[in-house]
């Protein structure tokens, strides 16, 4: 049995959220009962009562407050831990408005949608006094980074940065440059040129890449974030379930593009955003496609007997989801997916189990990939593994475990070791030979998010182990 991570104690904000949500649901129930007694529910009240997903989502103002609480916790706890783990004495992050360093972007308060002018965040290890953080910029960055530059007294921003660093005399000065990770390579050519030129020679010689520090910041999830991730994932699963139903699909009528836009609209209507446009794919035996074409039917129309696949994600509370699930369109008289498709599903789950059983602190992504593929092939499975980190970004920085076209390993990000308290999108395909399918293997594509706690892997919500079933006749 997988033991779920215990939630951290409620903060005042989360307690307020819980009270507000309970009162809202109680009010909705009372309104609904009153309307029923009066002769029925109006369309607007019916919609409000039915939309349980919307009730789980915070208003923007409360989201912002919660996001800023979490950001402060991350800055207070993670940065000192990671700087000392990587042996970094000073960390300089530079970005300009609309061309922000990706790391800088994750350190801005919720009301700062972009950097302002040139924003420079500076972290200095003061030893027993801890890590000091500041903004060498025209403006303080909220109440998280106090401003330490007065342009009226010192017009040269880079000279001010150099003076602060010279006074601190750090052993290393780290900047965000990286060959392996775009997200850790945010220092532009011109900013690097001008920053380096402003430094005295002694400090210039101490410039190092902050790659592992930047990746550590991006990949590490706090206990609070891991607890919230369960809620974010539940919302994503709920949206998928809504669309994989007769609410959104009319067999013989609905196209894959119709369903893609249904999901995109639903995400928008819930006040959420997404980091990629979802995709819907129909998988069916070649002979079935040929039969439909012979009848003059378009192949993008969802039909009874189809295996329908979705790749879907949302962005909420600065956390991203990336999920692939599958539905089966029942033929008349069917009550479940055919046995051969259920066997293919089981093989996909077996491949997931093999992969996550090989998660071990310190192993690289390439080592995990090699072990998992060898075990899967020995078990008679057809593995294609392309698992990636997830968190503040969808395709995030961290330990990459294969790409669909790189099953022999991924240079760079695949050589990065696995750390505790990091989240992953367990993305893979099991190619399954089925007599009922024909000569080509059936591709069972699955993707589910979870985290590694240093000892074992846990899914944020239960992974899919059986099809969403959609009837061909109206319910």
Q: Report yes or no: 38 and 58 within 8 Å, Cβ to Cβ.
A: no
Q: Angle CA(316)–CA(320)–CA(323) in degrees, nearest 5?
A: 115
Name the residue among 281, 284, 347, 278 with its Cα closest to residue 311. Answer: 278
From CA 372, how far away is CA 359, in angstroms rounded?
A: 10
Pairing of strands 323-329, 468-470: parallel
What pLDDT was estimated at residue 459?
98
Q: List strand residue ranges (DSSP E) for 196-292, in order.
A: 207-209, 279-283
What pLDDT was estimated at residue 474?
56
pLDDT means over runs of 10, the chain (475 residues): 37 45 38 37 42 90 96 97 97 94 95 88 95 92 92 93 96 97 96 96 96 98 97 97 96 97 97 96 95 95 97 98 98 96 98 98 98 97 98 97 95 96 98 94 97 97 97 71
DSSP 397-465: SS--B-BTTBTT--TTGGGSBP-SSEEEEEEEEEEE--TTT-SSPEEEEEEEEEEE-SS-EEESSPPP-
As given in the structure block, the two tokens for residue 397 are 């920085």
Name the residue among 313, 278, 309, 281 with its Cα closest to residue 390. Answer: 313
Report the sign of the C-alpha dihedral through residues 400, 405, 410, 412, in that order: negative
Backbone angles phi, psi at 363, to 5 degrees: -70, 145
From CA 64, how far away is CA 247, in angstroms rounded?
A: 32
What pLDDT was estimated at residue 339?
97
Q: Report yes or no: 185 and 215 within 8 Å, Cβ to Cβ.
A: no
Q: Angle CA(175)–CA(179)–CA(184) in degrees, nearest 5?
A: 45
From CA 41, how far away is CA 300, in angstroms rounded?
A: 37
What pLDDT was estimated at residue 473?
73
From CA 174, how far away is CA 123, in angstroms rounded?
A: 10
Burial of 192 (0-12, 13-18, 19+ CB in 10 A): middle
DSSP 70-134: HHHHHHHHHHHHHHHHTT-SEEEEEEETTB--HHHHTTS-TT--S--SEEEEEEEE-GGG-EEEE
DSSP class of residue 16 equals H
Q: Report yes or no: 333 and 305 within 8 Å, Cβ to Cβ.
A: no
């Amino acid at each position: 049995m997988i033991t779920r991570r215990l939630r951290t104690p409620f903060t005042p904000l989360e307690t307020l959220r819980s009270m507000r949500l309970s009162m809202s649901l109680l009010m909705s129930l009372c309104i609904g009962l009153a309307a029923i007694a009066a002769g029925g529910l109006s369309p607007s009240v019916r919609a409000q009562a039915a939309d349980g997903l919307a009730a789980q989502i915070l208003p923007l103002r409360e989201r912002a407050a919660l996001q800023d609480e979490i950001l402060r916790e991350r800055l207070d706890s993670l940065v000192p831990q990671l700087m000392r783990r990587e042996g970094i004495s000073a960390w300089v992050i530079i970005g300009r408005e609309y061309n922000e360093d990706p790391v800088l972007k994750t350190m801005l308060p919720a009301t700062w949608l972009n950097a302002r002018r040139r924003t420079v965040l500076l972290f200095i290890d003061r030893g027993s006094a801890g890590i000091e953080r500041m903004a060498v910029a025209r403006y303080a960055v909220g109440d998280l980074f106090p401003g330490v530059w007065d342009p009226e007294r010192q017009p040269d921003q880079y000279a001010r940065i150099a003076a602060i660093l010279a006074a601190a005399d750090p052993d290393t000065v780290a900047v965000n440059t990286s060959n392996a990770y775009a997200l850790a390579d945010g220092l532009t050519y011109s900013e690097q040129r001008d920053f380096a030129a402003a430094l005295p020679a002694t400090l210039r010689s101490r410039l190092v890449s902050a790659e592992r520090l930047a990746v550590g910041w991006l990949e590490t999830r706090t206990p609070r974030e891991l607890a919230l991730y369960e809620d974010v994932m539940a919302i994503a699963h709920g949206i998928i379930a809504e669309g994989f139903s007769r609410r959104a699909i009319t067999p013989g009528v609905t196209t894959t593009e119709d369903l893609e836009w249904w999901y995109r609209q639903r995400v928008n209507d819930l006040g959420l955003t997404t980091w990629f446009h979802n995709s819907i794919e129909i998988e069916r035996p070649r002979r079935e496609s040929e039969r439909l074409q012979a009848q003059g039917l378009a192949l993008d129309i969802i039909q009874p007997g189809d295996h329908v696949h979705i790749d879907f994600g949302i962005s909420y509370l600065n956390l991203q989801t990336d999920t692939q699930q599958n539905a089966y369109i029942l033929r008349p008289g069917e009550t479940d997916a055919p046995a051969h498709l259920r066997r293919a599903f089981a093989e996909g789950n077996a491949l997931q189990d093999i992969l996550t059983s090989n998660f071990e602190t310190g192993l690289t992504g390439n080592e995990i990939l090699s072990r998992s593929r060898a075990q899967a092939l020995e078990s008679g499975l057809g593995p294609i593994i392309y698992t990636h980190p997830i968190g503040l970004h969808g395709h995030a920085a961290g330990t990459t475990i294969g790409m669909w076209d790189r099953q022999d390993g991924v240079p760079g990000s695949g050589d990065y070791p696995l750390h505790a308290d990091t989240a992953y999108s367990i993305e893979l395909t099991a190619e399954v030979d089925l007599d009922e399918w024909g000569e080509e293997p059936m591709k069972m594509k699955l993707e589910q998010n979870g985290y590694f706690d240093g000892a074992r892997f846990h899914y944020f919500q239960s992974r899919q182990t059986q099809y969403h079933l959609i009837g061909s006749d109206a319910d």
